[in-house]
Amino acid sequence: NAGVTQTPKFRVLKTGQSMTLLCAQDMNHEYMYWYRQDPGMGLRLIHYSVGEGTTAKGEVPDGYNVSRLKKQNFLLGLESAAPSQTSVYFCASTPETGYYGYTFGSGTRLTVV
């Protein structure tokens, strides 16, 4: 009964380092999303996937890459971290219809120094 699990929960990176955030869901949801949340900005969509093997750009995709090799996992990569990527990252998933809203993971707090 895990729902959506994000790892890691916290991370501090130095500028230029790379890392991968993992999102795993056990609800057999088709659609998965990565959002970032900054103070006063609301959640902004980075990338999303409508099924295994598919990815698409959201509102703020620059500096990020994603992969969905397995239906249950959605990975978000930062190739060369920048201080502007300091944020809280949330993963979410929904069944294909999406009429009942999304289920969110508990978030990853990333600081880039």
Partner 1 sequence: RKEVEQDPGPFNVPEGATVAFNCTYSNSASQSFFWYRQDCRKEPKLLMSVYSSGNEDGRFTAQLNRASQYISLLIRDSKLSDSATYLCVVRGDDYKLSFGAGTTVTVRA
Q: Binding to partner 1 by residue 100, rule CB under 8 A?
A: yes
Looking at residue 27, its amino acid is: M
* For partner 1, the closer CB: 5 or 17: 5
| Dist CA 54 CA 46 (whole Å) | 14
Q: Binding to partner 1 by residue 2, rule CB under 8 A?
A: no
Q: Binding to partner 1 by residue 61, rule CB under 8 A?
A: no
Q: Binding to partner 1 by residue 19, rule CB under 8 A?
A: no
For 53, left (φ over 0), alpha (ψ -120 to 50), or beta? left
* For partner 1, the closer CB: 46 or 112: 46
Q: Is there a contact between 24 and 32 (Cβ–Cβ < 8 Å)?
A: no
Structure tokens at 6: 């994000």
Q: Binding to partner 1 by residue 90, rule CB under 8 A?
A: yes
The 8-class DSSP code of residue 34 comes to: E
* For partner 1, the closer CB: 17 or 103: 103
The residue within the footprint of partner 1, chosen from 93, 94, 110, 112 (CB under 8 A), is: 94
- Residue 101 phi, psi dihedral angles, 5° rounding: 80, -175
Q: Binding to partner 1 by residue 69, rule CB under 8 A?
A: no
